[in-house]
Structure 1
């Protein structure tokens, strides 16, 4: 579902990255590991179209996102790429449910309320959906982020250090949720992490 070829990127003449080719199919999980400064988050942003490569290509399904205009890329990303970031960014004045609905409205112009409720129920957040996100634990906030990332049934799910701030129980729960939901939604899942607990949990790995 996603494949890359000969991707390079540079922030300056002194900071250059050359990344290995990636290929994952629907429902597969790939773990990207590596020390600080090796370009893990940079690669994730390239896969999500948040950065453009200096050279090489990134394709999701049949679409080469490297060739899309900014407007086309924004539209494509909203419908086909789900992002789970290390720090959850919510609209603080909105409830949990409203934050998830917002993601569907921004991508499609429609408010998928029933779908959002179903996802939150699936993630054991049914009793939390009318609370403000600030009233939730960090583990619960991370599950809201997963619901928001999945609301548009993306082809690609990208997770940046999704477990680094969680205790063991919640870290394994989030890792299993991401893996199981990517299979259920037939999405490729790419996790960027330095969390040793995840390295022991997924066999398909690339180290930068």
Structure 2
């Protein structure tokens, strides 16, 4: 299966199962999904419905049990970890719900890391600009243990922006932030989506954030369905 000229991501009959002693737990039922370049997509649904599992597979962080996953024409389902890591480095940004900052690095060093690994020039200046955009320019030399949960999330967001990715995956990007900071971060996400043409795929329980996306899909017990109308708050 080949991607069309507009699609950046496509999955076909994707499934994920795990073996628990004497039974198989089906986390994802056969899923088909196409995301076009520059699109913003929200994946909503109740806790435990499979949203984060799906996001991890779409980003090449995990492999499906069966089915096909294409990102920028790369067949991720056929790649080993080294090959998928290369695709992520070249094309993907990921905002983790658990931050996943490196404790031995300062805020600005955490933000700079993707650019340094890719030998990009002007990493320091770009990192300074990004930290200022998320309101942490005065906390640049602080370590993760010296930052609040919300501040750590903002560092993680700045780090995801560092590589100017083609597609940005975000797992509850505003879930650990106060309302005002969450609105600011959401504005940054959609500014990047609009001005840089970065494709945005996010998992969220925030109905206002989901409503800002061009399209929404709902996960329910591992089944993905398109939202045809307004999503009810109880579904988020």
Tell me if TM exceeds 0.5: yes
Please report the RMSD computed on the Cα atoms of aligned residues, expressed in angstroms.
Answer: 2.1
Aligned length: 207
The one of 38, 53, 70 equivalent to 2:49 is 38
Aligned partners of 1:179 and 1:153: how far apart in 2? 14
Asked if 1:64 is matched to 2:71, the reply is no
The one of 121, 130, 134 equivalent to 2:132 is 121
1:42-121 alignment to 2 at 5 Å?
A: 42-106=53-117, 108-110=118-120, 112-121=123-132
Moved more, 37-46 or 170-179: 170-179
Instruction: For structure 2, list consecutive stretches of 5 or more residues without a partner in the other structure.
Output: 1-7, 220-236
**Shift of the alpha carbon at 1:203?**
4.6
CA contact under 8 A between 2:14 and 2:65: conserved in structure 1?
Answer: yes
Q: Which residue of 2 aligns with 1:4?
A: 11
**Shift of the alpha carbon at 1:181?**
1.6
**Shift of the alpha carbon at 1:110?**
4.9
Asked if 1:167 is matched to 2:174, the reply is no
Q: Secondary structure at the match of 2:197?
A: coil
Deviations 1:133-181 (A, max 9, x none): 3333433322211111121121221111122222222222222221212
Q: Which residue of 2 aligns with 1:185?
A: 196
Query: Higher strand fraction: Structure 1 or Structure 2?
Result: 2
CA contact under 8 A between 1:6 and 1:20: conserved in structure 2?
Answer: yes
Aligned partners of 1:11 and 1:36: how far apart in 2? 18
Q: Secondary structure at the match of 1:14?
A: strand
Tell me: CA distance 1:200–1:187, structure 2 relative to 1, closer, same or farther (3 Å).
Answer: closer
The one of 8, 11, 14 equivalent to 2:24 is 14
Aligned partners of 2:156 and 2:44: how far apart in 1? 21
- Structure with the greater alpha carbon radius of gyration: 2
CA contact under 8 A between 1:96 and 1:128: conserved in structure 2?
Answer: yes
CA contact under 8 A between 1:156 and 1:188: conserved in structure 2?
Answer: yes
Aligned partners of 1:189 and 1:197: how far apart in 2? 16
Give the alignment's TM-score, normalised by structure 1: 0.88
Aligned partners of 2:145 and 2:38: how far apart in 1? 32
Instruction: For structure 1, list consecutive stretches of 5 or more residues without a partner in the other structure.
Output: none
Aligned partners of 2:178 and 2:187: how far apart in 1? 14
Give the alignment's TM-score, normalised by structure 2: 0.79
